[in-house]
Structure 1
């Protein structure tokens, strides 16, 4: 590849005629210029006219001050530079090879032959100019920042950066047809090491008519292309929409059409009496001749008596503006079917034996003649059912029905159904799983055992008839939780409730005589997460049986009977708590 201008050619011819010769008649021949791509390798030629003793050195720069390569001993060159000539011709061919060429290598290089004393120069070459080519960046094309009207004149800019040498060609094409081969504006921001180029073109912007910027440069094996798509910046105003309609038995079909718009991201909004209709219409967008678009929107309305004077509006929403059509009035009142009923209940499970309120609602029906029924497992429920029907402002009606159910085990695995029958011959229903909100509190049962000193005793605590199955049972000794218990697992009963047993093995020693062991259940059916009881003190050692009654639960008052024994040797404690919360066992009672 040739990169020299005419001026450079004249300089080379002049330098060739002034090739220097050494004092011993030695002539050094250097190639005037060579070129290499950045990262490549290049050979710098240096040939002597005859053999001569003494080393050769290469210097970089017009002033020959920077040593680049040396044959002298104790002087090393970079790893990128080595002799290129054949070994048998090494006395006359002192060319060098530079690898991994960088932009910083671009300069003039001189081959200098020294005499045998290694101090005096025998001959100096005319110099070789190294040109380093850097590839230009991929071209970038840009146009107006805002949307422009279809078929208007638009200026497009193409830029490329970071290339060398500065000679570059930029050509514009449209649909494979060359528009112009411009002389780009070339500038440099780093002292003429690399260059930037920019080219502009102005032309009419059409749909589907992209313009291509093509860059050619000495460092490129193939040209680089960038495409600017006018479709990204064009806009065309849609025509005023037109509404047509078709009447059917129970509804009216409305058709809204608009033409000649671009791009196709358009939206049609339907409104009734000035209020936007949320129902999604059936929209169809198609391309027309010239690349613009057409939209057709169809929406179906069920006409009600309350809406006989209502007006329907079709509105176009586009990047370029909007317009509305004439208004149509809905006629021919027909009945309107109710919406699918929705059953709502509590967000969490209800406490055992509490009342659960469930609501079934349906809306948008006309006229108000409607029947709502509740079923539990296909059996109709009529007690504790309340209906409310209200008229909506649009003339349709809403119904809300509430049923009260007690949180009890009889409703485990039961399905609640809300059924609606309307004058429009519509029958619809929804279901609700009562197991999602039902809870049944556990019943705590203890198994008595005989106490023998210095024997291992197993205490059993059984929780029965609870739902759902998630439960935690722990043993406590003197209010300290014990972690050496074991559980038997969960057992499902026929009624849908669960049973589990928690065992505790203890070594019954004299130190344990006055210990109080308590079995406690934690279950979501229990009203309070934590429950406390007052210890009942028994100080009368003579009365064989004393019945005391006192217990304190948070926000509750429960009375149970506590039994003591006359075998107590000293003051200690024994008590049972509410069966649905926990049970306490004192081995000292059985001494």
Structure 2
């Protein structure tokens, strides 16, 4: 090759190099779970390019992730490129569902033989697309259906099931998942997977028991972005109140018993009153636990009522976390043969006398009418 030929060759290469130019931003921002279109455009003579001489490469941190030369190959099914657009100067890389790990420096390289150009784009992925919401505590009644709350907000809901999972733990033990990889440890556990994809991943317990109380952890993994929230479930059962006997003897020591039954938890207060004042000589036994986990306890009071206590009000009052206000039962002090009973007898006697007098008057009037006739 003589000097003139070399000069012409170099001139052609220089002219050809000017015919391939890369354009695009130096940075690109996307959010977790969104569809990213990382831009890469170029200009060249004779577009669309001839597929035989045309190749597009995409790199992430210098490692190849996609290649297009007649066929498209990629290291992740989320990566794609529009082949027709690429031949016409638009070689954008599409990521169908971005992860936090997708952030980094991407390199787009275009080859139109014998020319090659490349450009770097820094991709920043924001994790603000997933946020957990809901209370940190949940109150439930024993035996009821519990719905332990776990809600979240995210971009592009409903989420793509391929890149989404919800996992529940109870006291650190795995109990339930949304992607069916975990068999529930208890048939009472359930979760609506369709609602979970839309932001509501509540755990349902069909028949809550004492052993269900504790700390639950809801973990949401969305496009490799993981968030967790702890929810404490507190269980309670309302007590039933009953006074075992309301019979009181005058000037005699009487033992009265008030029973609180079927309550949970076992912290409870039972108090006796007379006309609103706390009575002395009362005591509460130790709560006894049933097989279902609820409790029963008795409170007794000793009183020696006199004539002045007639018709006064005795009350048993229960205070418990399951109650919005105190639970109370009242009854009046009455004595067998008391004035109230005498009064009732007098009323009955008067009624009998009136009836007899009325019958006698009716009989006399009848005799008189018959005599006239």
Larger Rg: 1
Same fold, TM exceeding 0.5?
no
Per the normalisation by structure 1, the TM-score is: 0.29
The structure in which a higher percent of residues are helix is 2
Per the normalisation by structure 2, the TM-score is: 0.43
